[in-house]
Structure 1
Amino acid sequence: MSATISTPTSADVRAAATTIRPYARRTPVLRADVDGRPLVLKLEHLQRGGSFKLRGAANALAGGARPEQVVTASGGNHGLGVATAAALLGLPATVYVPESAPAAKARRIEETGAKLIRHGATYAEAAEAAHAVVGPGARYLHAYDDPAVVAGQGTVGLEIVEDAPDVDAVVVAVGGGGLAAGTSLAIGDRTTYAVEPENCRALNAALEAGEPVDVEIDSIAASALGATRIGDVPFSLLRDVRSLLVGDDETLAARDRLWDEFRLAVEPAAAVPFAAWLAGRIDAELPCLVLCGANADWLPG
């Protein structure tokens, strides 16, 4: 690990839980039995802003000296989380998104009062443009490569082990790795399963290479899981997680099954853990699957 990388700890996650309490919802867990197998669902798609991203943004912005304004780049959900947190804290926010950002996410970002700027074909191009405009008094808030953001995301895992202490594994979708890294800090000796689309595999490729590497992105879940490179901070915490891949057809089938079985309407990224579980790739007696977001224009048929 590079000496310049600052990584959060489990104590930071516990501190984050206190910091974000005025701003974030404590989302419920749902115990269920599907195909004769028990599981727990963490309904994080019910979070303010429609995803877990509010947690990391609120912890970063409320946990220390507050900036005069916040700038960020996002495929959609992080931008909405930052914009929502900024509105709650009374801070002006500017959010850069790639041209491909879904209309639903872009509209919701603007509805918070944040300034939305579309730039570039990828998250990386939007982030480069956002960095260029950060001036004195402003803070650039990275979507996942920030210790305070990772600690905030870890509060999802902390709530899981408090509300369902009998789970033996937590299964999360991975984009840049912030949620998976925070989860690994929060759940003690339980197993973290990190699931990615086959063509959106920044963590899986980094684990194979032994370091973060650039990857090509092409997935139905790319707007949420489309990081072209895993973050250095998350990767330093994720070397021992179980990395799994699922196909887009499996993801869409899992999304539809969540609606048919439970009437839970989530975006494709949130169905990735359920897809891995349905395929029998999770080796756990009672796993908790995190349904991480609901920001999509998809309507159940």
Structure 2
Amino acid sequence: MSLHLETPLVPSRPLSLASGQDVWLKLDALQPCGSFKLRGVGLACQAYARQGKRRFVSSSGGNAGIAVAYAGRCLGLPVTVVVPQTTTERARQLIRQEDAEVIVHGSAWHEANAYAQSLLTDDAAFIHPFDDPLLWQGHASLIDEVVISGFKPDAIVLSVGGGGLLAGVCEGLARNDWADVPVFAVETDGAASLAAAMASKAPTALPAVTSVATSLGAKQVCQQAFELSQQRPIHSHVVTDAQALDACERFLLDHRILVEPACGAALALAYAPSEALKAYQSVLVVVCGGVTATHEQIREWRASC
């Protein structure tokens, strides 16, 4: 039995009117821990538990850590999550709420990740937030559910941070013979590591992550995401923090669901499609969710943009 839920696939009248297209939403913000992360994290944790691992260690800026903590509690195994200093107090509280240990280390995710690796023992499994084939296999279930519904979009819009969701969606498209469906990969300015890699035709590390969309805060996308960008129809698109935050507020009004700026990036493109996206009539938007930002914080960020 999987730890994630099958999430609703719904048409969006507000987004369709705004864009002039037929927009459908895959509402993974409704997963038990608030984001798509549970699909891959849950599968990975179950796989490692079957292998005899008795503890999970992860590094995360928020949502992946919450998903690991949730999975560990469901499986009855202890969890340690190392977060950087930039992780919000709300995110730390949500991880602790799942009975996991939180360790704060480093000024950025890569420093927290290195420390988390040092905590591994023979009986512990490391759950990466985005770079593990087990994660991609689990995230691919999102596309499986869309296929079963009988709806095939002309294009898919999603947000990209480290590239785990992109890799999973592409795996889902491939295993369902939908490899012809293009993916619009959206990032915020200041966290656009995929756009940088595609422009230079090589994985490229950003000097720093400066976007408020901290859930997109991987300085470099995983190798799998980059390779996919060279092999299949993937369109890179970058929005501003202000556009992502506006989309969060607009989506809350339109659909009564609060999402993070990381998810707002994809919604921003869906509300105001680029010329490339306008070429497709039927569009699926992955509402990946995120629970580490409050509405008050989103408004504070918006006021400062």
Q: Same fold (TM over 0.5)?
A: yes
Q: Distance in 1 between matches of 2:127 and 2:248?
A: 30
Map of 2:209 onto structure 1: 217
Deviation per CA, 1:192-244, whole angstroms, max 9, x where unpaired?
1111001101111111222211112111211x110011112332333231111
Higher mean C-alpha displacement, 187-196 vs 121-130: 187-196
Higher mean C-alpha displacement, 204-213 vs 233-242: 233-242
Which residues of 2 match residues 233-272 of structure 1 at below 5 A?
A: 233-239=224-230, 240=232, 241-272=234-265
Which residues of 2 match residues 101-180 of structure 1 at below 5 A?
A: 101-163=87-149, 165-180=151-166
- State the SS of the aligned residue for 1:48: coil
Shift of 1:163: 2.4
* AA in 2 matched with 1:217: V
1:28 paired with 2:20, answer: no
Kindly indicate whether the alpha-carbon contact (under 8 Å) linking 1:153 and 1:183 is maintained by their aligned counterparts in 2: yes
Which residues of 2 match residues 4-153 of structure 1 at below 5 A?
A: 21-33=1-13, 34-35=17-18, 36-63=20-47, 64-153=50-139
Of 173, 195, 218, 1:227 maps to 218
Q: Distance in 2 between matches of 1:66 and 1:158?
A: 29
Higher mean C-alpha displacement, 88-97 vs 55-64: 55-64
Tell me which protein shows more helix as a share of its residues. 2
Deviation per CA, 1:72-112, whole angstroms, max 9, x where unpaired?
10110011111111111111110001111122211110011
Q: So what's the TM-score if we normalise by structure 1?
A: 0.88
Q: Percentage identity across aligned positions?
A: 32
Shift of 1:62: 1.2
Kindly indicate whether the alpha-carbon contact (under 8 Å) linking 1:196 and 1:246 is maintained by their aligned counterparts in 2: yes
- State the SS of the aligned residue for 1:49: coil
Give 4+ residue runs of structure 1 displaced > 6 Å after superposition: none
* AA in 2 matched with 1:204: A
CA change 1:212–1:66 in 2 (3 A) is farther
CA change 1:59–1:178 in 2 (3 A) is same
Runs of 5+ consecutive residues of structure 1 not aligned to the other structure: 1-20
Deviation per CA, 1:158-213, whole angstroms, max 9, x where unpaired?
22232252311111100000101110121212111111001101111111222211
* AA in 2 matched with 1:22: S
* AA in 2 matched with 1:221: A
Shift of 1:264: 1.8
Map of 2:281 onto structure 1: 285
Runs of 5+ consecutive residues of structure 2 not aligned to the other structure: 300-305
Kindly indicate whether the alpha-carbon contact (under 8 Å) linking 2:167 and 2:225 is maintained by their aligned counterparts in 1: yes
1:190 paired with 2:181, answer: yes
Kindly indicate whether the alpha-carbon contact (under 8 Å) linking 1:181 and 1:235 is maintained by their aligned counterparts in 2: no
Map of 1:207 onto structure 2: 198
